[in-house]
């Protein structure tokens, strides 16, 4: 055994491997389960008791020498590789993953671009607003439920309360106060409502609202604008229906349904068998709202509409849980990498 140990020590000292593959082969040959050093440790069991101390020390020295030599050769090979690659300008660059835009951002941009083609400008406003721009100027009476704490996040309760806007209609008010007529704008943005978070509701969501004010604007103009938008967004075969509704800032008002793009009107679980999906509210701007912003309601008329971006995205990609938009789950977000 002594001769074997000395022979292996000499071999290890003279060992010179030039690649990771050669180093791994040497490691397996010496230290693997069936390696030469491993066999010597198995043979050590048969050594006479009075010789175990001497041979035990030699075997440990042999194993330590082998491990150190292999580690040194690995470091040498890695240093040479790093040094060579640092100056090899012909080698390809390191691969890295590209991110993707959030589905809400994708749909928001798509909606805005559609209305840009129709001649609409984009207007934005603050998310922290006052009571006048969110409620008072939009014809909300003092007792309206939307003013209650169960719907609105109030920051202060002074004479003109400060709050987180519950809709982007506040941007429309600011536009009517400042912009020259005629006005044709869309107002995308984030809004807040004090609601319980679930698969179908969230306390934060995104809207795109539109406003058109000019002389002789009619409900027929509103219907045509929405129909053109729907066919751009959901396809040339899409159709709409309008159902009477109520909003404080429009009169008459309507809810807009689009034909289900999954079953094409035949009825499915997405549209609950009706063949229709609700996508927005709309109506003719109430004369009181025009007058509150200093616009002559006898000369000018207009229409407004508003839709939830998450709602449109749900219909576009059949996303059934609103919470997916806010949880930053990479498994969900990576599904939209091809939507850049």
Q: What is the DSSP track for 310-329?
A: HHHHHHHHT---GGGGTS--
The pLDDT value given to residue 149 = 60
Alpha helices in the chain, H assignment, sequence order: 2-14, 20-31, 36-43, 49-87, 103-117, 131-134, 169-178, 219-234, 287-292, 309-317, 330-333
pLDDT in tens, 254-272: 999 998 877 776 777 667 7
The pLDDT value given to residue 150 = 60
Q: Given a cut of 90, is residue 85 above it in pLDDT?
A: no
CA torsion 149→150→151→156, rounded to 10°? 20
The pLDDT value given to residue 235 = 86
Q: Which residue has the higher pLDDT, 41 or 290?
A: 290
Mean pLDDT of the chain: 86
**65 prior amide bond cis, ω within 30:** no
Q: Given a cut of 60, is residue 233 above it in pLDDT?
A: yes
Q: Given a cut of 70, is residue 82 above it in pLDDT?
A: no
């Amino acid at each position: 055994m002594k001769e074997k140990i000395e022979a292996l020590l000499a071999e290890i000292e003279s060992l010179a491997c030039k690649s990771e593959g050669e180093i791994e082969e040497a490691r397996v040959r010496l230290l693997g389960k069936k390696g030469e050093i491993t066999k010597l440790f198995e043979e050590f069991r048969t050594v006479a008791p009075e010789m175990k101390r001497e041979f035990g020390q030699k075997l440990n020295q042999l194993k330590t020498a082998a491990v150190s030599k292999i580690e040194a050769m690995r470091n040498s090979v890695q240093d040479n590789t790093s040094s060579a690659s640092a100056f090899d300008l012909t080698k390809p660059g390191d691969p890295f993953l590209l991110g993707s835009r959030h589905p809400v951002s994708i749909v928001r941009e798509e909606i805005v671009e559609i209305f840009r083609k129709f001649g609409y400008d984009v207007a934005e406003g603050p998310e922290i607003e006052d009571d006048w721009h969110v409620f008072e100027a939009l014809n909300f009476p003092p007792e309206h439920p939307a003013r209650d704490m169960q719907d609105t996040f109030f920051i202060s309760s002074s004479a003109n309360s400060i709050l987180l806007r519950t809709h982007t209609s506040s941007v429309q008010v600011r536009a009517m106060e400042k912009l020259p007529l005629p006005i044709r704008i869309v107002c995308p943005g984030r809004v807040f409502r004090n609601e319980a978070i679930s698969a179908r509701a969230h306390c934060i969501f995104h809207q795109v609202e539109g406003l058109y004010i000019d002389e002789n604007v009619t409900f027929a103009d509103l219907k045509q604008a929405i129909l053109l938008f729907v066919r751009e967004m959901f396809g040339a075969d899409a159709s709409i229906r309008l159902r009477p509704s109520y909003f404080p800032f429009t009169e008459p008002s309507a809810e807009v349904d689009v034909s289900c793009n999954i079953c094409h009107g035949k009825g499915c679980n997405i549209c609950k068998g009706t063949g229709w999906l609700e996508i927005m509210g709309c109506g003719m701007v109430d004369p009181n709202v025009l007058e509150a912003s200093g616009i002559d309601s006898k000369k000018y008329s207009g229409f407004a509409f508003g839709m939830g971006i998450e709602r449109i995205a749900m219909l576009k990609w059949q996303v059934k849980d609103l919470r997916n938009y806010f949880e930053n789950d990479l498994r969900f977000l990576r599904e939209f990498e091809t939507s850049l």
